[in-house]
A and B are shown apart, each in its own frame.
Chain A
Amino acid sequence: SQQGEEDPQALSIQEGENATMNCSYKTSINNLQWYRQNSGRGLVHLILIRSNEREKHSGRLRVTLDTSKKSSSLLITASRAADTASYFCATDPIQGAQKLVFGQGTRLTINP
């Protein structure tokens, strides 16, 4: 069973625009992580936000976490063609720690 569900499933924007992806989950968590996957490649870790944190920044990435709503969002500002990839949220549930559960991903396309 998938813990995280992502929305939208696909997103297409123009270069320079901001991209926002959302993730909802079902159970209490230790942390939530976001990963990027380029076509045909392995996943690459982007950012981790702990359950007691509400917002975190890393370069052009901004992640928010609302544990009361069991949701998170990933914002990529000033998008570039190289940001074209699939983005996955992964939750580390308190029950079953270290068994990261991935969502189905958002396919992001940046048009030049």
Chain B
Amino acid sequence: NAGVTQTPKFQVLKTGQSMTLQCAQDMNHEYMSWYRQDPGMGLRLIHYSVGAGITDQGEVPNGYNVSRSTTEDFPLRLLSAAPSQTSVYFCASSHRTGEAGGELFFGEGSRLTVL
């Protein structure tokens, strides 16, 4: 199993450009999520999904869109990049365990710089 795969690993954008960060998992996990990690801020939840066709907002959703058309894929779209979106982005997935959160499996991260 490859686990959680994120692409690209590095990306530089200009302000106003759009792009999609890809995330795929091969563990048949129902739950997938996107976090951003900034120095001194820990990880903050952007969006999450509890199954195909279902998405919801996390703590910092503004400027980002997601969709979940398949169990395996959960892309994160930046609509119009801003310097404040310079960050390291992590995709994570887990099995659902009733109503409680389970162990998250993380990708290796996508480092985004917006000029």
Chain A positions near chain B (C-beta within 8 angstroms): 1-2, 4, 30-31, 33, 35, 40-45, 48, 50, 88, 90, 92, 97-105
B42 touches A30 (CB 8 A): no
Chain B positions near chain A (C-beta within 8 angstroms): 4, 31, 33, 35, 40-45, 48, 50, 58-59, 90, 92, 94, 96, 99-109
CB-nearest residue of chain B to A2: B42
Q: How many A-B residue pairs have CB under 8 A?
A: 70
Of the candidates B43, B59, B101, B109, the one whose C-beta lies within 8 Å of that of A31 is: B101
Min CB distance A53 to B, Å, is 13
Known: A42-B107, A45-B103. 12 other contacts (CB 8 A): A1-B59, A33-B104, A50-B100, A90-B104, A97-B101, A98-B48, A98-B101, A99-B58, A99-B59, A99-B101, A103-B42, A104-B42
A102 touches B43 (CB 8 A): yes
| Secondary structure class of chain B's binding surface, majority of residues | strand
A101 touches B103 (CB 8 A): no
Of the candidates B33, B48, B109, the one whose C-beta lies within 8 Å of that of A41 is: B109
Of the candidates A31, A44, A100, A104, the one whose C-beta lies within 8 Å of that of B45 is: A100
A43 touches B103 (CB 8 A): no
A92 touches B45 (CB 8 A): no
B100 touches A42 (CB 8 A): no
Of the candidates A30, A88, A98, A102, the one whose C-beta lies within 8 Å of that of B31 is: A98
Min CB distance B77 to A, Å, is 20
CB-nearest residue of chain A to B45: A99
Residues on B with C-beta less than 8 A from A102 are 35, 42-44
B99 touches A30 (CB 8 A): yes
Min CB distance B31 to A, Å, is 6
Q: Measured between alpha carbons, how far is A48 from B31 in the docked complex, in Å?
A: 17
Residues on A with C-beta less than 8 A from B108 are 41-42
B50 touches A48 (CB 8 A): no
B100 touches A92 (CB 8 A): yes
CB-nearest residue of chain A to B91: A42
Min CB distance A98 to B, Å, is 4
A88 touches B103 (CB 8 A): no
Min CB distance A49 to B, Å, is 12
